[in-house]
Amino acid sequence: MDMIDPFGRTVSYLRVSVTDRCDFRCTYCMAEDMTFLPKRDLLSLEELDRVCTVFVEKGVKKLRLTGGEPLVRKNVMHLVRQLSRHLKSGALEELTLTTNGSQLQRFAGELADAGVKRINVSLDTLDAEKFHAVTRWGNLDKVLQGIDAAQAAGLKIKINAVALKGFNDGEIPGMLRWAHARGMDLTLIETMPMGEIDEDRTDQYLPLSLLRADLEREFTLSDIPFRTGGPARYVDVKETGGRLGFITPMTHNFCESCNRVRLTCTGTLYMCLGQEDAADLRAPLRASEANDALSAAIDEAIGRKPKGHDFVIDRRTSRPAVSRHMSVTGG
109-157, pLDDT tens digit by residue?
Answer: 999 999 999 999 999 999 999 999 999 999 999 999 999 999 999 999 9
Map residue 330 onto helix, strand or coil. coil
Using alpha carbons, select from 300, 264, 294, 271 the residue that is nearest to residue 281. Answer: 294
User: Rounded distance, CA 15 to CA 66, Å?
Assistant: 7
- Domain 3-329 architecture: Alpha-Beta Barrel (3.20)
User: Rounded distance, CA 116 to CA 80, Å?
Assistant: 9
User: Rounded distance, CA 269 to CA 59, Å?
Assistant: 16
Residue 230 CA: distances (Å) to CA of 21, 227, 293: 24, 7, 29
- Which residue stretches of 43-118 are H helix? 45-57, 76-89, 104-113
Using alpha carbons, select from 255, 266, 258, 224 the residue that is nearest to residue 241. Answer: 224
- The model's pTM: 0.91
Averaged pLDDT, 31-55 = 94
Binding site for S-adenosyl-L-methionine: what residues are annotated?
28, 68, 122, 192
Question: Binning pLDDT at 50, 70 and 90, where does residue 324 land?
Answer: low
Predicted pLDDT at 250: 62
Spacing of C-alpha 37 from chain mean position: 20
Binding site for [4Fe-4S] cluster: what residues are annotated?
22, 26, 29, 255, 258, 272
Averaged pLDDT, 210-219 = 95
Burial class (CB in 10 A: 0-12, 13-18, 19+), 148: middle
Residue-range domain boundaries for the chain: 3-329
pLDDT in tens, 12-28: 999 999 999 999 998 87
Binding site for GTP: what residues are annotated?
15, 64, 98, 158, 260-262
Binding site: what residues are annotated?
15, 22, 26, 28-29, 64, 68, 98, 122, 158, 192, 255, 258, 260-262, 272
The radius of gyration of the chain's CA atoms, rounded to the nearest angstrom, is 19
